[in-house]
């Protein structure tokens, strides 16, 4: 329960988080390396080095695997909450020719609500769009949407008409998570996957999922990482 402690969460974004997650990711890499593809493990290691953090090894492994699997379905990919582009890199490495839409303020987090417990600061986890684009410059068919989601797509009729096979959320906050679920759920193809970071450790994220699914036929899939996901039923 250490990671659910609000004082520990309030340390996020600094050197302590980088050191702690680096150690955890190293241990996960050693474990996976005993039975998974060395090339895939090396790819994840490089990603984390390039972005000085990013999703932990197990989280990155799952994102890449899901991207490869979902690339067989119709529909685009999306990510809301890009930060330095680590998880986007994992999606790019597995998506093939699929379009990937990246949504972010590129200026850090907005103000949270009482549900979020005050563990994050406004503008925390900021990274410029130019920096992310430079890191992902070799990735094809990637589209950037800057602004606070979903306000950033209110006038974007093209995006609102799209269908999605995979949508990844890493927005940390209740309102952002709720907005992601409300926007993408009706736009997912049958078998499409909505996956979120931080479900098991951030109150705002978990509350948004529980509220949203209260009247939906899908079950929430709790994953051994901090992630959770929903598979859209026909």
Task: Give me the DSSP letters along 102-170.
Answer: EEE-SS------GGGTT-S-TTTT---HHHHHHHTTT-SSEEEEESSTTGGGTT-HHHHT--EEEEEE-
Q: Which CATH number fits domain 60-231: 1.20.1050.10, 3.40.640.10, 3.40.50.150, 3.40.50.1820?
A: 3.40.50.150
- % helix, strand, coil for the chain, step of 5: 45, 15, 40
Per-residue pLDDT, 7: 46
Beta pairing class for 228-231 and 188-196: antiparallel
What local confidence, expressed as pLDDT, does residue 19 receive? Answer: 82
Rounded CA separation 195/198 (Å): 10
Instruction: State the CB neighbour count (10 A cutoff) for residue 19.
Output: 10
pLDDT tens, 166-213? 999 999 999 999 999 999 999 999 999 999 999 999 999 999 999 999
pLDDT of 12 reads 56
Q: Which residues of the chain have pLDDT under 50?
A: 2, 4-5, 7, 9
Each domain of the chain, given as residue ranges in start order, spans 60-231
pTM for this prediction: 0.94
Residue 171 is predicted with a pLDDT of 98
Instruction: List residues bridging with 169 in a β-sheet.
Output: 80, 196
């Amino acid at each position: 329960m250490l990671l659910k402690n609000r004082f520990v969460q309030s340390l996020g974004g600094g050197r302590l988080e980088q050191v702690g997650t680096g150690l955890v990711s190293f241990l996960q890499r050693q474990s996976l390396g005993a039975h998974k593809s060395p090339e895939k493990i090396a790819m994840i290691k490089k990603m984390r080095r390039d972005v000085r953090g990013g999703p932990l090894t197990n989280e990155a492994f799952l994102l890449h695997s899901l991207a490869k699997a979902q690339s067989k379905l119709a529909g685009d990919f999306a990510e809301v909450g890009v930060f330095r582009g680590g998880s986007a890199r994992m999606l790019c490495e597995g998506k093939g020719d699929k379009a990937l839409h990246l949504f972010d303020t590129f200026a850090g987090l907005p103000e949270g609500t009482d549900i979020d417990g005050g563990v994050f600061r406004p503008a925390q986890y900021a990274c410029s769009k130019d920096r992310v684009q430079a890191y992902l410059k070799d990735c094809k068919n990637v589209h950037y949407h800057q602004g606070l989601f979903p306000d950033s797509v209110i006038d974007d009729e093209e995006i609102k008409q799209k269908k999605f096979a995979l949508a990844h959320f890493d927005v940390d906050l209740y309102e952002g998570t709720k907005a992601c679920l409300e926007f993408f759920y009706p736009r997912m193809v049958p078998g499409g996957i909505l996956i979120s970071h931080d479900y098991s450790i951030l109150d705002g994220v978990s509350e948004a999922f529980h509220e949203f699914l209260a009247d939906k036929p899908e079950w929430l899939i709790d994953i051994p990482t901090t992630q959770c996901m929903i598979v859209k039923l026909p």
